[in-house]
A = this chain, B = another copy of it.
Amino acid sequence: MQNLRSKSADGFIRRLRSYVLQRFEPLWAFAARVPFLAKIVNRSIINTAVNTTRSRPHVYSTVSPYTSWVSLTDKTYFARHLPARDPQPQLPDREKVLALFQRPENGERQCPKSTLLFPAFAQYLTDGFLRTEMSARSRTTSNHEIDLSPLYGRTWAQTDVLRTKSEDPLLRGRLKVQQILGEDYPPFLFEEDGRTYKREFTDANRALILDPPLGLKSDVDGAARQIFAVGGDRVNATPFVSMMNTLFLREHNRIAENLVSRNTDWDDERIFQTARAILIVVFIKVVIEDYINHISSVYFRLKADPSVAWPAKWNRPNWMTVEFALLYRWHSMIPDQVAWANGDVASAKMFLDNSYLTNVGLLKALSLTSEQRACALGLFNTPAFLAEVEKRAIDQGRDSKVASYNDYRKAMGLRPADDWSQLTGDPARRRALTAVYGSPEQLEFYVGLFAEDVNANTPMPLLIGTMVALDAFSQALTNPLLSEHVFNAGTFTEWGMSEIEKPQSVQEIVRRQAGRQALDEASVAKIRMTRPDWERTFDRF
């Protein structure tokens, strides 16, 4: 039997809640079937998750260690949940800390619940708004909303160059595509020389209007790597992210096509903007109903019910925090090797190379990704090729002077840990942590997040899970498109509302895109974030 961590610092109420929500399946099945009960349970779970900590506006940002008009309004800085720790205590040597993340050779730990589709979706989602400014890492280029900026760009000018603005009435409202082996993908960013940006994506001074692909070195052939012209600078990072973006690109054009046939008097602009509005809401529904439900350890399946947020005291303008940007570094979920069409490929090799996607096609890529097991979140599981990225994350936490791990436990309604057993049941991990930090009170935030064992029935450890749920609900459901007087057929059209109201998941979107085409149902059914062999365990109190 596995060594289990102690729950003594989780708090009685939280333990009771988990206990009840993870048992009594018939009760939750009944609640889900009675609409008014389902609404109440849904509302109550979401409100509980968000009310774990105090609501926005955040008191502090990374601009200064005190509150000011600038810190409350200048959104080019990250907000922060807790004030800067100033002065910072002496922290352990960075190399020693980095060693805590290192995956042993041929020793990757697998995640019992998640397929690789889960981290792929997580990366696509968070690249849209957790956007550290690379040249000044206390700042951000985020729009602070779930706005599908990886697909549409962050600015009006970027969106503009990604659109066809076709003269053909039947092609109104579309995003640019190219065909590869009979399938739609974004156009390539580079001319055939692999170095020159295509004219259509640059301004009068030949400067790129789109954000340049992150990590793409100037000596790499961008054409051979099939780098796409897309809204986000991280979309090309792996074929898995490109895969998600391609799925939503096609969905945008499918929605636009449907809007055209139902609104023949609308111009390109109106078709485009309405398709975009519908797709953003569809995406938010996938986030909550597919992705968050996968993260959730409980029976009751959550719904993206916009009305939960309407009267909520936590409905305040979104502002991404530096803590949120840090806790989403799920490098340890990436396997060393991925089983692809022609055998295993090293993950590192897939970096900035979309040919892995285009060679197999979107459907096959999605099902291959879903057949691959994700690795487990946590220490001693980061693949070697991501060590450099891990180092930057440790530095960002230190440079941002984030408070201690225990400070965040307290802010999130947990008791501070005073024994390593409250974090992990693994004696080896406890010894390693003791050697580097002494006691949990000395533990820094970034390391603490990943020092915890993953909880039962979820791919997340406790503190990450708490903070992900908090930020996901409080930032997704406050989207302006979901607001009380906007979320209706006046905004989306009747057809758009009916699209939105359909069940939403990555798999459902694939199925919908097939249209009248025959689909390989066996492959489609594989597309899921939860492994088919996952079995619910009955966690102790």
Q: Which residues of B contact A277 (CB under 8 A)?
A: 67-69
Q: Which residues of B contact A491 (CB under 8 A)?
A: 59, 66-67
Report yes or no: B276 in contact with A64, Cβ–Cβ below 8 A: no
Copies of this chain, complex-wide, total: 2
Of B73, B273, B483, B490, which one neighbours A69 at CB under 8 angstroms? B273
Q: Considering the complex, give the chain B residue whose CB is closest to the CB of A276.
A: B69
Of B66, B69, B273, which one neighbours A70 at CB under 8 angstroms? B273
Report yes or no: B147 in contact with A69, Cβ–Cβ below 8 A: yes
Report yes or no: A481 in contact with B145, Cβ–Cβ below 8 A: no
Task: State whether A490 and B59 are in contact (beta carbons under 8 Å apart), knowing that A54-B485, A147-B73, A481-B69 are contacts in the complex.
Answer: yes
- Which A277-326 residues have a C-beta within 8 angstroms of B? 277, 280, 310-311, 313, 315-317
A72 within 8 A of B: yes
B-contact 0/1 string along A465-500, CB 8 Å cutoff: 000000000000000110111100011000000000
Report yes or no: A68 in contact with B486, Cβ–Cβ below 8 A: no
Task: For chain A, give the interface size range.
Answer: 35 or more
**Bound CA–CA A72/B273 (angstroms):** 11
**Bound CA–CA A274/B71 (angstroms):** 11
A143 within 8 A of B: yes
A133 within 8 A of B: no
Closest beta carbon of chain B to A196's beta carbon, Å: 31
B-contact 0/1 string along A59-84, CB 8 Å cutoff: 10000101111101110000000000
Closest beta carbon of chain B to A141's beta carbon, Å: 15
Closest beta carbon of chain B to A516's beta carbon, Å: 30
Closest beta carbon of chain B to A485's beta carbon, Å: 5
Q: Which residues of B contact A310 (CB under 8 A)?
A: 313
A57 within 8 A of B: yes
Report yes or no: A73 in contact with B273, Cβ–Cβ below 8 A: no
A538 within 8 A of B: no
Closest beta carbon of chain B to A311's beta carbon, Å: 5
Of B66, B143, B274, which one neighbours A66 at CB under 8 angstroms? B274
A165 within 8 A of B: no
Task: State whether A66 and B480 are in contact (beta carbons under 8 Å apart), knowing that A59-B490, A74-B156, A145-B73 are contacts in the complex.
Answer: no
B-contact 0/1 string along A134-148, CB 8 Å cutoff: 000000000101010
**Bound CA–CA A112/B484 (angstroms):** 42
Report yes or no: A59 in contact with B311, Cβ–Cβ below 8 A: no
**Bound CA–CA A147/B68 (angstroms):** 12
A176 within 8 A of B: no
Q: Which residues of B contact A147 (CB under 8 A)?
A: 69, 73
Q: Considering the complex, give the chain B residue whose CB is closest to the CB of A315.
A: B316
Of B59, B74, B273, B484, which one neighbours A68 at CB under 8 angstroms? B273
A270 within 8 A of B: yes
Report yes or no: A481 in contact with B72, Cβ–Cβ below 8 A: yes
Task: State whether A64 and B270 are in contact (beta carbons under 8 Å apart), knowing that A480-B73, A481-B72 are contacts in the complex.
Answer: yes
> Which of A68, A145, A274, A280 is packed against the most chain B CB atoms within 10 Å?
A68
A25 within 8 A of B: no
A269 within 8 A of B: yes
Closest beta carbon of chain B to A488's beta carbon, Å: 9
Closest beta carbon of chain B to A436's beta carbon, Å: 33
Q: Which residues of B contact A270 (CB under 8 A)?
A: 64, 66
Q: Considering the complex, give the chain B residue whose CB is closest to the CB of A480.
A: B72
Report yes or no: B68 in contact with A276, Cβ–Cβ below 8 A: yes
Report yes or no: B145 in contact with A273, Cβ–Cβ below 8 A: no
Closest beta carbon of chain B to A85's beta carbon, Å: 16
Q: Which residues of B contact A74 (CB under 8 A)?
A: 156
A residues whose Cβ falls under 8 Å from a Cβ of B:
54-55, 57, 59, 64, 66-70, 72-74, 143, 145, 147, 156, 269-270, 273-274, 276-277, 280, 310-311, 313, 315-317, 480-481, 483-486, 490-491
Task: Give me the 4 closest cross-chain CB pairs, A-B, nearest first.
Answer: A68-B273, A72-B480, A67-B491, A317-B317
18 contacts between A and B (CB under 8 A): A55-B484, A57-B480, A59-B490, A64-B269, A66-B270, A66-B274, A66-B491, A67-B486, A67-B490, A68-B276, A68-B277, A69-B481, A70-B156, A72-B480, A73-B143, A73-B145, A310-B313, A311-B313
Given contacts A57-B480, A64-B269, A311-B313, 10 further A-B contacts (CB under 8 A): A54-B484, A59-B485, A59-B486, A59-B490, A59-B491, A64-B273, A66-B274, A66-B491, A68-B274, A69-B276
